[in-house]
Amino acid sequence: MNDKYFIDTNILRYLISNEELEKHNLIKEFIIDKKCEISIQNLKELSNILFKKTNLSVNEIKEYIVTIGKKFTLYLELPTDILTAINISKNRKNFYDALLVATMLRNGTNIIITENEKDFAEFKEIKVINPFK
C-alpha cells in the first residue's frame, strides 16, 4: 500500500483512549496496514486535550505523547507551511486546520483521517476519510 494517511488529533485521542472502546478498536483496525503520519501540531493539540479533558497524570500524558511520536512518521511545521496555510485558509475559519493541510501537502500526503469532516471539506487539495462512516 503506497498511500500515506495523515491522522487528525481527534483520531489520536480515540487511539489512546478506551473511553469509547468501539471507536478505539475501529481506529486500531483501520490504521493497522497503513502508512500513517502526524505533525508536531497534533502532539501539541493532543497534549492540550489530555490536560484539559482527562484525569491522566503528567507522566501518563508524557508517555502517550512519546509513544504516539514514535509510532507514526512525524513532521515538523516549517515557516513555508505557515505561508501556505495563510494562502489556502482565505475564507476559512480555522487557520490550524489549514496548517495541517499545508504540512501534509509539503510531505506528499493528500489523505486525512478525521472524525471532523466538515473542518476539512473546503480543502479541495485533500481527501477526507471518516473511519466511522
Task: State whether the Cα torsion 97-110-80-123 is positive or negative.
Answer: negative
State the pLDDT at residue 6. Answer: 97
Q: What pLDDT does 81 receive?
A: 96
Residues in the chain with pLDDT values less than 50: 1
Q: How far apart are CA 99 and CA 102, in angstroms?
A: 5
pLDDT digits (tens, 9 = 90+) for 22-39: 999 999 999 988 999 999
In CATH, the number for domain 4-129 is: 3.40.50.1010
In eight-state DSSP terms, residue 107 is T
pLDDT of residue 1: 41
Q: What's the half-sphere exposure (Cβ side, CA atoms, 13 Å) at 14?
A: 22
Per-domain residue ranges of the chain = 4-129
pTM assigned to the model: 0.90
Q: For residue 44, what pLDDT is reported?
A: 95
Note the pLDDT of residue 17. 82
For the chain, the 3-state helix, strand and coil shares in percent, each to the nearest 5, are: 55, 15, 30
Give the single-character DSSP code of 8: P
Give the Cα separation of 40 and 76 in Å (integer): 6
